[in-house]
Structure 1
């Protein structure tokens, strides 16, 4: 059973429900803190938003009854780090498309536009044995763990 405060290096399987998407975001913020990025930092908030959008899309558009989605976060590089977010689902027939600007009347369609704007780069790859992985990368400064926190808040 998954503890709500852990995110293993190999990723974590979460239920394809709104609750699973919320848990994905919380786990990402916790992992960012472990890597030295406080919850209210720009980097942590950006990663949290990207995870929320990709997990929400996996639940909404990639859900296959009885199948979960997987979240994986990795960090690499120095002195500038790259944070890579991977959200995998079991649906291979519904691939994300590059976003177009929605009209003012559209009630949906802004999620991937946010991903396009916030991520350094993003894409989709096939998932073995079935499904797809939507990934996004964020360039991050050196971790802020050594600096005094300016705000003890949460991402809005």
Structure 2
């Protein structure tokens, strides 16, 4: 039996879509009774990267939040530019590296790429 909780949504690859990703993250984590501040910052950065570096006109990006039974929150932002993998971390990915317990990228399915970050999401005491 899989006790993971998952939220996923496709959003327009625009500044409005990136803002909505951040707001939906906050709401979903409130619904799951989990802290949202760090996740909100991570989603803001990953969504902004998706609309800045991964945008293909007419294509959306996807936000997926997964909460595991071990209270790990996995944030995934998938964009339509599998050919544009992050090479040298700029300020945004340095921020992701500082805030996340782990992060990385993966290709596919073509033509997409996903940038993901994980962090502990224990219930507040």
**TM-score, structure 2 length as denominator?**
0.90
User: What is the CA-CA distance between 1:126 and the residue it aligns to?
Assistant: 1.2
Runs of 4+ in 1 over 3 A off after TM superposition: none
Residue in structure 2 matched with residue 34 of structure 1 by the alignment: 31
Residue in structure 2 matched with residue 153 of structure 1 by the alignment: none
Residue in structure 2 matched with residue 77 of structure 1 by the alignment: 69
Q: CA RMSD in A?
A: 1.6
| Counterpart pick for 2:36 among 41, 44, 50 | 44
Tell me which protein shows more strand as a share of its residues.
2
Deviation string 1:112-135 (CA, Å, 9 cap, x unpaired) is: 011000000000011214210100
**TM-score, structure 1 length as denominator?**
0.73
Residue in structure 1 matched with residue 97 of structure 2 by the alignment: 116
Tell me which protein shows more helix as a share of its residues.
2
User: What is the CA-CA distance between 1:77 and the residue it aligns to?
Assistant: 2.9
User: What is the CA-CA distance between 1:27 and the residue it aligns to?
Assistant: 0.3
For structure 2, the residue ranges without an aligned partner over 5 or more in a row are: none
Alignment partners' CA distance in 2, 1:137 and 1:98: 20
Judge conservation of contact 2:18–2:48 (CA < 8 Å) in 1. Answer: yes
**Number of aligned residue pairs:** 121
Residue in structure 2 matched with residue 59 of structure 1 by the alignment: 51
Higher CA-based Rg: 1
Alignment partners' CA distance in 2, 1:94 and 1:67: 15
User: What is the CA-CA distance between 1:110 and the residue it aligns to?
Assistant: 1.2
